[in-house]
C-alpha cells in the first residue's frame, strides 16, 4: 500500500474514532510541588477552554520551572444560561491539568470587545479595573494573552483589555508578555515552543472537560494537526524565510516581549526555539 495513503487513512480513522472517546472524568494529571513564593504565570483566557488550547508554554513552566500557573477566566462565555456550567467545566479542566483558577466577577466579564471599548467607556473602565487589580495582586513574572488580531471579537477584546490594564498600573510594574494565537495567526511570532506528545495528550485530556463545547465542535481532535502546522509555519515566520523548520512534531507559537517603562519592549532580534529538554524558565531571566 502507498504509505502516504495509509498515513492519511490513519489520520481520518483516528479523527472519527476520537469522537467516541470519553469527555472528562479523568484523574488529575501529575504535577510538581509548587513553592508558595514561586513566580506566577497568569493566562488571560477570553473563554473557558483557551487556557489549555494555548497553554503549552504555561504547562512547561509549571512542570519544568515549578512556577505557579493561574488561569484568569476573563469571561464565562456569551450564553448566560451556560455560564455556570462553563465555570464548572473550567474548574474541572484546571484541576486536571494543575492550573490555579482566578475568576473576575460573578458569571465573568461581559461584552469584552473593541466595540465596547469604543462605545461604552464606563463599562470598559470597570472591566479594566478588574484586570488591573488581578495583575497588581499577583505580580506575575509572565502573562499570556491573545494578540491584537486573533479574529474572534472576545479574543481581540481581551488583548486590549489586558493592555489597558497594564497601562493603568504604576510605571515600575514589569512582566514578560507572551501573546498567543488560535483563531487568527500572528504575522510576527518570535517563539516556537515544542510540545511533546505526552504534553499534548495531557492538554487534550484536560480540554475534554469542556464537554459542552467539544460536543458542539470537536476541536480537541484537531489540536494535533494545528500544532503540526505551527511547526511548519513557525520555522519560516519565526525562524526566517527559507529557514529549515525545527525537528518538532508539535509546537505552539507566541510573540514574547517584556512590559516595562509603560510599554511592550522587544526582547531579542529574530526568532527563538524552545525544544523539549530545555527548561522553559530559562526564557525569563
HEC secondary structure over 268-279: CCCCEEECECEC
Mean per-residue pLDDT, 162-185: 97
Per-residue pLDDT, 245? 81
3-class secondary-structure state, position 108: strand
On whether the 38-283 domain is CATH 3.40.50.10320, my answer is yes
Per-residue pLDDT, 268? 85
Percent residues over pLDDT 90 in the chain: 94
Per-residue pLDDT, 181? 98
The 10s digit of each residue's pLDDT in 205-261 is 999 999 999 999 999 999 999 999 999 999 888 887 887 789 999 999 999 999 999
C-alpha cell at 284: 525569563
Mean per-residue pLDDT, 259-274: 92
In the chain, where the domains are located: 38-283
CB contact at 8 A, 128 and 120:
no
The 10s digit of each residue's pLDDT in 113-148 is 999 999 999 999 999 999 999 999 999 999 999 999
Per-residue pLDDT, 26? 98
Percent residues over pLDDT 70 in the chain: 100
The 10s digit of each residue's pLDDT in 41-82 is 999 999 999 999 999 999 999 999 999 999 999 999 999 999
Q: Say whether pLDDT at 1 is over 80.
A: no
Crossing angle between the packed helical segments 197-207 and 56-64, to the nearest 10 degrees: 110
Largest CA distance in the chain: 65
Q: Say whether pLDDT at 279 is over 80.
A: yes
Q: Which of 116, 99, 106, 51 is CA-nearest to residue 83?
A: 106
CB contact at 8 A, 43 and 206:
no
Per-residue pLDDT, 269? 83
List the beta bridge partners of residue 177: 143, 257
The span from the CA of 151 to the CA of 258, in Å, is 24
Question: At 66, phi and psi to the nearest 5?
Answer: 60, 45
Instruction: Provide the pLDDT confidence category of residue 264 given band limits of 50, 70 and 90.
Output: very high
The span from the CA of 162 to the CA of 125, in Å, is 12
Per-residue pLDDT, 241? 81
Q: To which H or E segment does residue 225 belong?
A: helix 223-237
Question: pLDDT averaged over the chain?
Answer: 96
CB atoms within 10 A of CB 71: 26
Amino acid at each position: 500500500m502507498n504509505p502516504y495513503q495509509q498515513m492519511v487513512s490513519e489520520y481520518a480513522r483516528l479523527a472519527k474514532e476520537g469522537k467516541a472517546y470519553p469527555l472528562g472524568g479523568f484523574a488529575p494529571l501529575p504535577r510538581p510541588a509548587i513553592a508558595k513564593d514561586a513566580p506566577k504565570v497568569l493566562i488571560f483566557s477570553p473563554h473557558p477552554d483557551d487556557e489549555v488550547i494555548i497553554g503549552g508554554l504555561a504547562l512547561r513552566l509549571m512542570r519544568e520551572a515549578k512556577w505557579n500557573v493561574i488561569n484568569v477566566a476573563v469571561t464565562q462565555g456569551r450564553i448566560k444560561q451556560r455560564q455556570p456550567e462553563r465555570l464548572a467545566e473550567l474548574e474541572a479542566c484546571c484541576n486536571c491539568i494543575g492550573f490555579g483558577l482566578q475568576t473576575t466577577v460573578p458569571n465573568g466579564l461581559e461584552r469584552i470587545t473593541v466595540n465596547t471599548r469604543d462605545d461604552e467607556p464606563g463599562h470598559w473602565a470597570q472591566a479594566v479595573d478588574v484586570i488591573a487589580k488581578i495583575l497588581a495582586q499577583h505580580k506575575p513574572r509572565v502573562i499570556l494573552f491573545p494578540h491584537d488580531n486573533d479574529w474572534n471579537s472576545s479574543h481581540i477584546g481581551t488583548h486590549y483589555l489586558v493592555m489597558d490594564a497594564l497601562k493603568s498600573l504604576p510605571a515600575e510594574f514589569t512582566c514578560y508578555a507572551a501573546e498567543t494565537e488560535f483563531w487568527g495567526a500572528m504575522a510576527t511570532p518570535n517563539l516556537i515552543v515544542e510540545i511533546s506528545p505526552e504534553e499534548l495528550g495531557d492538554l487534550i485530556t484536560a480540554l475534554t472537560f469542556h464537554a459542552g463545547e467539544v460536543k458542539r465542535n470537536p476541536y480537541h481532535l484537531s489540536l494535533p494537526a494545528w500544532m503540526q502546522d505551527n511547526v511548519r509555519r513557525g520555522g519560516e515566520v519565526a525562524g526566517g524565510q527559507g529557514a529549515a523548520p525545527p525537528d518538532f512534531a508539535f509546537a505552539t507559537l507566541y510573540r514574547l516581549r517584556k512590559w516595562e517603562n509603560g510599554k511592550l519592549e522587544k526582547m531579542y532580534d529574530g526568532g527563538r526555539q524552545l525544544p523539549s529538554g530545555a527548561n522553559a524558565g530559562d526564557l525569563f531571566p
